[in-house]
Structure 1
């Protein structure tokens, strides 16, 4: 018998050698079954791209005032018409898209980071620390989200950054409660006790074993929370506590259009439709993520 061996490259590795690829294929296979969620995902991608490149391809200045063309109806020249200051509404919506997404993403990032930290600490260590953190979360949850954000902005003052802080604060309890519950479930698993017995410290266990196992509900909650954050921020701007004129923020544009809702409905209609589309896209995308990432729905 010959002892010579032929070394051939392994090109088709079993799924076990590429767990991330197998997990991604499994996730996408389940996700694409939900046609509405798939459309929502593509729409979000389109909105992000529009927010990035849109301001560079628009024709008009979003803040330039020209009373000679004020309250123009939608036309080939002004697709969405003009407002009471003669500003092109289509241009203002395109420029306002980046502000809307900025508020949504950053406010949820702030609320998620703090909420995840508090939820993991409460669920992992339990005891008195858990009770204190959860009672604080209960106090925050006792206020309706929009009222809590309204109170915070009233204290801090009306500005876009203060809106982000306010929306981030009222997002903390939702993340904290979800993460706490998931952490409690993971903490009771036998392999966590085995890792502790091997001498792993708490930080290593939390970051390498707890957080990766509870990432699915966090991702779903973050996606759905972005829609809530955008709606809340638009509501605060509608009340005059968010972005200040002449910033092309959709909630503020909707507020400006109230006075012309009967005679010139396009002034309020298009900003309102823009808010609805973005919120709807994130909601149906989040529902699709929840269905795809839920282990109970593998069949």
Structure 2
């Protein structure tokens, strides 16, 4: 027996190029186990920063500023997981509250650098000529100073505070974004479709925000991820020197500075804040490297 088959028209499935690109990036990223570990750690740190202080206020026994001089410099125990500092404050509670400060400094300072540096880089690369020379010479002046020294000079002028640290780290992040975006803009500007769009009468504003900016987002994302680690390390260094967050704020750099006096008799006072700084910086660095390889596989080669 033969069966009659009806040939139905086959409709091509519409493919979203942007969605497929995201899937390909995620597929490459999953192959990098170290980057995944870094990404999971970052998510964990963000969750701790958002929900940790609230949970401690509801279920914890100690506050970040609560002192008990009778229990000062106590080692890790079931009552005090990370021990107590020289004022008898619970180090674990202070580290959880310090997570919010640390990530806030990192994200906000990098955001400041992006908001200023990315437009400067695009304008410099797109228009070129005298505008390019002026912007890049200013960036060269800022890059002539090591990042920590530039931030130290800015904080010394503005005064030691958490807000001034964020401003200082944001300022020294501007040249990094400006230079990398300028280089990417120079490459995109030479593409033929940019000339075609310009020939059709598109304005510079439309070309920059609709055609150039989306094509330079990959290096911006990579630079932002890696820059957060640098911002956290720099802010902790300034606080360690007494120019950042002021006591009794539970900032890790300030806690590390206070704990160095007691390293021989109470190692835990300096160890746990220092270990948290290392973990956060390491997580952002390895995740940033993984993002770079996933967005541009040729970089790995």
TM-score (norm 1): 0.94
Describe how 1:223-242 pairs up with structure 2 within 5 A.
223-242=225-244
Match in the other structure for 1:3: none
Alpha-carbon separation, structure 2, partners of 1:188 and 1:7? 43
Alpha-carbon separation, structure 2, partners of 1:102 and 1:36? 24
What's the CA shift for 1:18? Answer: 1.7
Alpha-carbon separation, structure 1, partners of 2:243 and 2:274? 18
Match in the other structure for 1:138: 140
- The superposition leaves residues 14-73 of structure 1 with CA deviations (integer Å, 9 ceiling, x where unpaired) of 4xx322321111011100111000000011000000111111222110011110111111
Describe how 1:49-60 pairs up with structure 2 within 5 A.
49-58=47-56, 59=60, 60=62
Alpha-carbon separation, structure 2, partners of 1:195 and 1:50? 47
What's the CA shift for 1:7? Answer: 11
- The superposition leaves residues 97-116 of structure 1 with CA deviations (integer Å, 9 ceiling, x where unpaired) of 00000000000000111010
Match in the other structure for 1:13: 13
Match in the other structure for 2:5: none
Q: Please give the secondary structure, in 2, of the residue aligned with 1:32.
A: helix
Describe how 1:90-169 pairs up with structure 2 within 5 A.
90-169=92-171
- Equivalent position to 1:72, from 74, 81, 85: 74
Moved over 6 A (4+): none
- The superposition leaves residues 77-121 of structure 1 with CA deviations (integer Å, 9 ceiling, x where unpaired) of 100000000000000000000000000000000011101011001
Match in the other structure for 2:87: 85
Alpha-carbon separation, structure 2, partners of 1:87 and 1:175? 40
- Equivalent position to 2:64, from 62, 69, 94: 62
Alpha-carbon separation, structure 2, partners of 1:92 and 1:168? 25
Q: What count of residue pairs does the alignment treat as equivalent?
A: 291
Q: Please give the secondary structure, in 2, of the residue aligned with 1:80.
A: coil
Describe how 1:240-279 pairs up with structure 2 within 5 A.
240-279=242-281
Alpha-carbon separation, structure 2, partners of 1:34 and 1:215? 21
**Is structure 2 residue 22 aligned with structure 1 residue 24?**
yes
Match in the other structure for 1:184: 186
- Cα-Cα RMSD: 1.7
Match in the other structure for 2:37: 39
Q: Any unmatched runs of 5+ in structure 1?
A: 1-5
Alpha-carbon separation, structure 1, partners of 2:264 and 2:137? 48
What's the CA shift for 1:297? Answer: 5.9
Alpha-carbon separation, structure 1, partners of 2:267 and 2:74? 11
Q: Any unmatched runs of 5+ in structure 2?
A: 1-7
- Tell whether the 8 Å contact from 2:109 to 2:169 is kept in structure 1 after alignment: yes
Alpha-carbon separation, structure 2, partners of 1:145 and 1:269? 25
Match in the other structure for 2:4: none
What's the CA shift for 1:298? Answer: 9.4
